[in-house]
Amino acid sequence: MSARSKITPLPLLMLAALPMPMGWLVAKAAESADPGEATDFGDEAARSLVYWWQCWPALAAALVALAGFWLARGRPWPRRVEAALLVPAILAGCALPFLVIGSGFEVGPGAWVFLLGVLALIWHLFALLSGEEGYARHLLVPGLFGVAVIYLWQVLVQGFEIPAVLLPPPTGVALSFVDQTAEMWGDFVQTVLRSVVRGYLIGCGAGFVVAILADRIPFLARGLLPFGNLVSALPIVGIAPIMVMWFGFDWQSKAAVVAVMTFFPMLVNTLSGLAESERIQIDLMRSYAAGYWRTLVMLRLPNALPFIFNALKINSTLALIGAIVAEFFGTPIVGMGFRISTAVARMDLGVVWATIVVAALTGSLAYGGIAMVERAVTAWHQSYRRR
């Protein structure tokens, strides 16, 4: 059975309806008054609380939301049934601000209070879905949370009439993406497929090989780790211009920046993973006459896999950031960093946000893909058995 939510949206939903009778009377009185007669602040405040109710589609959406809430919370339904009953109420409540705006009204305080109640319903829906197992928790909740964030972004920008120069709505970002699809594909190829992928493979591969050598030759570890800490503290804006001077303006300089940024995280994490094997395990391998390389392959590297995959996940986002920042310091007339810098100069914030979304989705998909491979490869590890 479903547990009752600690946060009930009923007070917020009803609070929006409380000023309705008074505001309606004030609005009707104002219609019959002399147009030239001044109205005091109280009349204006009362009308501002109620005029959105005069939008009949919005009023219908509000009634659907209230009815859905009462139906879902009227008795202790199972979690999935209650979640299904809440969905129509939430959809109707979320549509309300757009119905008000589409009818030529402004979104007044009453509508915002009502929207807070709808957000409380969404909160309760997430709590219900989080209590389920399987896809509802791992896929549905994160996906719906992202949709809720985009919805809030859209409704706040439209409701408060925020200029697109400051923050474009998601619909504006989507239109910019559609208009600039060909250019953004060229930017993706230049930044991700040429710079990021090559620099990522070089940096991670070199870091892994050097970590094996440093494990075999101890003085390398003692010398490289302090140097790695020093290089990791260097800002990207200090490394990028040097690499552009050394390797030119094309993808090679960006790949070099990515390689530098990804080398030391892989080195440090691999060394930490190789040191994870317990002494008794190593002694057991020696009792079977296993040498260094056999022990490395059969015992120490498998134990180090969670650390190695951790470095791969961290580097998947670092690589993209490094390549984009490096493109600010010199690039051909293509690339995500180039597109952002030129669009900002033209005050075309829609293109800027569209490029940011492409970069964020690319980094998230890369991180998620590596995490899925990690789970398949290291499912036997004790870190997963504890979950």
Inter-CA distances, 384 with 234, 276, 306, Å: 35, 16, 10
In this structure, the dihedral spanned by the alpha carbons of residues 379, 380, 383 and 386, taken in order and rounded to 10 degrees, is: 100
Tokens encoding 269? 């994490």
What is the pLDDT at residue 26?
46
Q: Looking up tokens 């007339």, which residue turns up?
A: 333
**Domain edges within the chain:** 10-162, 177-385
Residue 53 has pLDDT above 60, yes or no: no
- Compute the average pLDDT of residues 358-367: 92
What is the pLDDT at residue 188?
92
DSSP-assigned letter for residue 1: -
pLDDT band at 45 (very low <50, low <70, confident <90, very high): very low
Residue 129 has pLDDT above 70, yes or no: yes
Question: Cα 148 from chain centroid?
Answer: 12
Q: In 67-100, which positions are buried (b, 16+ CB within 10 angstroms) versus exposed (e)?
A: ebbeebbeeebebeebbebbeebbebbbbbbbbb
CA distance 358 to 342: 17
Residue 352 has pLDDT above 70, yes or no: yes
What is the pLDDT at residue 310?
92
Residue 243 has pLDDT above 90, yes or no: no
CA distance 180 to 95: 29
pLDDT band at 63 (very low <50, low <70, confident <90, very high): low
Residue 24 has pLDDT above 70, yes or no: no
What is the pLDDT at residue 330?
77
pLDDT band at 90 (very low <50, low <70, confident <90, very high): confident
Q: Looking up tokens 């309760």, which residue turns up?
A: 124
Residue 274 has pLDDT above 90, yes or no: no
pLDDT band at 50 (very low <50, low <70, confident <90, very high): very low
CA distance 148 to 145: 5
Residue 264 has pLDDT above 70, yes or no: yes
- Compute the average pLDDT of residues 313-325: 91
CA proximity to 331, closest of 270, 247, 273: 247
CA proximity to 312, closest of 272, 271, 267, 274: 267
Q: What is the CATH number of domain 177-385?
A: 1.10.3720.10
- Compute the average pLDDT of residues 42-49: 45
How many other C-beta atoms can be found within 10 angstroms of the C-beta atom of residue 15? 14
- Compute the average pLDDT of residues 51-58: 55
- Compute the average pLDDT of residues 239-256: 86
Residue 275 has pLDDT above 70, yes or no: yes
**What's the mean per-residue pLDDT of the chain?**
77
What is the pLDDT at residue 126?
81
- Compute the average pLDDT of residues 56-69: 64
Q: Name the more confident of 138 and 260.
A: 260
Inter-CA distances, 316 with 49, 154, 312, Å: 50, 30, 6
What is the pLDDT at residue 215?
84
Reduce the DSSP state of residue 6 to 3 states and report it.
coil
pLDDT band at 108 (very low <50, low <70, confident <90, very high): low
